[in-house]
Structure 1
């Protein structure tokens, strides 16, 4: 996996760059389908295997998030020194095979092992991919590229809801798992044999392409105040995102009497369409506006996440389910616009040889808060409110959780004034000796 990186920028046309992005988006969609499918299959799996709520929580909760987070850091450091394309291809193959094998388990232990393998392998498809995209798209187009890539989150969630409910009701949860593996293996082969490993840091001066020790990378990133603000904003906002991803289906069932099929169809379409439109438009608009004022790279996600809070809260408190879903669609579209500029900026503010590591740090934090803290805190709030509010307490707990998006907005806004200086530091105009000295 250490093939020399000999390709030159001239070899990659704009059309080919978007082809690579298209393949990576398809892989990201599968990543989220395989990650979220368990939430749709929880009930039939629990009934078939006779598992407790605690066991199901272990399969999909905080423990899974910790395993994914730890693996992300290790794999990211490896990807900063080796062929990223091959690493992603292997990761896709492993998590796809493991997903299919989950359909053949006979008990909790085997299923836990299968999901653990999926979690570790999916970590290999995260940070290395962001690094690859950064070497196919120059800084002024990265927010758009990251926005397009991030649409895979919402498209993957949509397809996991739609396909999961459809396949599970007709063929059962085992067949559902078995059918999800082969498409990933096919995409892994397409990636391996049609996508070139780009030159690392091809848009930056050659002097910045050297490998960075962990200590030097941490010192450099700690000095990038705009990077810290972007990472902090994404981490805090992830609490809201994770809470709604985990509990919005249950809220609709408990508050409005939705069936599982109705939840899958309504939320699948809302999240898929509104989320995909938001990520694409947010990246494009941010690239256009930031050409005039680089601070927009963080002001844009600040405004988006600030507006998210009232829309998400209103979704929970609306009495008419149709009105609630309409509000949630608008809120989801607005919220999704922050991904492209925020993640794109974390790449722009890191030196080329530490981009995988810089992304991993953000992913670790967002997974722990989004997949870990957000759902747990919502459940605690719901239990605490039970008996003290009229109606279903879950809707009020979720409404409170929307406030974390507003806190994330404050973090984004704080770092906006540092964007220009930090970008110059990362691109060589004001080099930091720490970033190139031994740890």
Structure 2
């Protein structure tokens, strides 16, 4: 893109982008928090325990949010941020809507994992776009405005979820007479999720600002997101460590980390009898450890 085609720093396009990104952040937390207000209905309908709910609300979401947040955050540094954000928004909104079709803990877990993966694109892309759209003089204020979406979304999510369930239950006391025989919690997921897919169309129209444009810094971008994404995923795997110069030492350290993490998770499993919770936690901890160790070889300047 030529210089003349980049939107002006702090101009109209910047303000439109800010409004859209705040709305996206609101949707982000509505979709994230709504599960908590629907918990009792989900427990009763799917016959799951409080521990299962903890997995859905915490581990299933947080572990995969963290794992995918690393490579997707790096991808935001090298590929179109508004495209990445829009794809992520469409994904987590679709997964939220599909949560309303879940008939088992397994299905709902898969959808919550999808929500976590999709939402991991939001903050890296948004912070980067806003930083290039606004000068350092007003950047703190702009980011504060953007961050308000967290609290608005959390509050709206709790209210909206409860309101939809209550209204749906009053309107359709017999779920078999409701559209698609949906229960209140299912309708809440679907009605909250679908608008996000529409919003993704508008975020796709955001004009991409010049990277470093607000500070006069040039940045390299790529038009091949799949290759860039593959490189980042390889970076969080142990393969980078096994190919390092000091391969033997790195491998021993990696195996020790795996042993410690698996031992801790095994003990916690024995204490709680909650296998899936600690398998997911152990997987996330090991991958994060691999990324930190691999980063030392791939990007020694970081250390």
TM-score (norm 1): 0.46
2:216 aligned with 1:205, yes or no? yes
Q: How does 1:4-403 map to 2 (within 5 A)?
A: 4=1, 11-12=8-9, 14-171=11-168, 172-193=184-205, 195-206=206-217, 209-210=219-220
CA RMSD of aligned residues (A): 2.4
Q: How many angstroms apart in 2 are the aligned matches of 1:129 and 1:119?
A: 16
> In 2 relative to 1, CA 7–21 (structure 1 residues): closer, same or farther, beyond 3 Å?
farther
SS in structure 2 opposite 1:104? coil
Q: How many angstroms apart in 2 are the aligned matches of 1:210 and 1:102?
A: 38
**Conservation of the 8 A alpha-carbon contact between 2:132 and 2:214:** yes
Q: How many angstroms apart in 1 are the aligned matches of 2:188 and 2:4?
A: 41
**Matched residues, number:** 212
Task: Structure 2 unaligned segments of length 5 or more: list them.
Answer: 169-183, 222-227, 229-298
Task: Structure 1 unaligned segments of length 5 or more: list them.
Answer: 214-434
SS in structure 1 opposite 2:215? coil
Deviation at 1:115, TM superposition (A): 0.4
Q: Deviations over 1:369-414 (max 9, x none)?
A: xxxxxxxxxxxxxxxxxxxxxxxxxxxxxxxxxxxxxxxxxxxxxx
Which contiguous aligned blocks of 4+ residues in structure 1 show a shift greater than 2 angstroms?
4-16, 208-211, 435-439
Q: How many angstroms apart in 2 are the aligned matches of 1:62 and 1:90?
A: 23
Q: Deviations over 1:329-364 (max 9, x none)?
A: xxxxxxxxxxxxxxxxxxxxxxxxxxxxxxxxxxxx
Deviation at 1:15, TM superposition (A): 3.1
**Conservation of the 8 A alpha-carbon contact between 1:7 and 1:199:** no
> In 2 relative to 1, CA 141–438 (structure 1 residues): closer, same or farther, beyond 3 Å?
closer
> In 2 relative to 1, CA 12–105 (structure 1 residues): closer, same or farther, beyond 3 Å?
same
Q: How many angstroms apart in 1 are the aligned matches of 2:4 and 2:210?
A: 6
> In 2 relative to 1, CA 112–62 (structure 1 residues): closer, same or farther, beyond 3 Å?
closer
Q: How many angstroms apart in 1 are the aligned matches of 2:60 and 2:190?
A: 24
SS in structure 1 opposite 2:38? helix
Deviation at 1:209, TM superposition (A): 2.8
TM-score (norm 2): 0.65
SS in structure 2 opposite 1:209? coil
Deviation at 1:72, TM superposition (A): 0.8
Q: How many angstroms apart in 2 are the aligned matches of 1:5 and 1:182?
A: 36
